[in-house]
Amino acid sequence: MDYMTALRLATDLHDGQVDLLGDPMIRHVTRVSEASIRGPLAPPVELWADALVVGLLHEVIEDNLIDADGLREVGASEGQVTSITLLSRIPPYDDYNGYIRSIVESGDVVAAAVKDADAHDHLLHMARLRRIDPSKVSLEKRYKRVRRDLRHTQEERCKTLTSSGG
Phi, psi of 24 (to 5 degrees): -55, 135
pLDDT value, residue 71: 98
pLDDT value, residue 57: 98
In order, the DSSP letters of 111-150 are: HHHHHHHHHHHHHHTHHHHHHH-GGGGHHHHHHHHHHHHH
Structural domain tally of the chain?
1
From the list 85, 84, 24, 89, the residue with the least C-alpha distance to 56 is 84
pLDDT value, residue 2: 98
Range of the domain at 139: 3-164
User: Are the beta carbons of 28 and 117 closer than 8 angstroms?
Assistant: no
Which distant-in-sequence residues (6+ apart) come within 8 Å of 69 by Cβ?
none
**CATH label of the domain that carries residue 121:** 1.10.3210.10
From the list 20, 54, 13, the residue with the least C-alpha distance to 143 is 20
Q: How far apart are CA 67 and CA 132, in angstroms?
A: 32
Each of the 166 residues of the chain gets a pLDDT tens digit; together they read 999 999 999 999 999 999 888 899 999 999 999 999 998 899 999 999 999 999 999 999 988 889 999 999 999 999 999 999 999 987 666 688 888 888 988 999 999 999 999 999 999 988 888 888 878 778 888 888 889 888 887 766 655 555 655 5
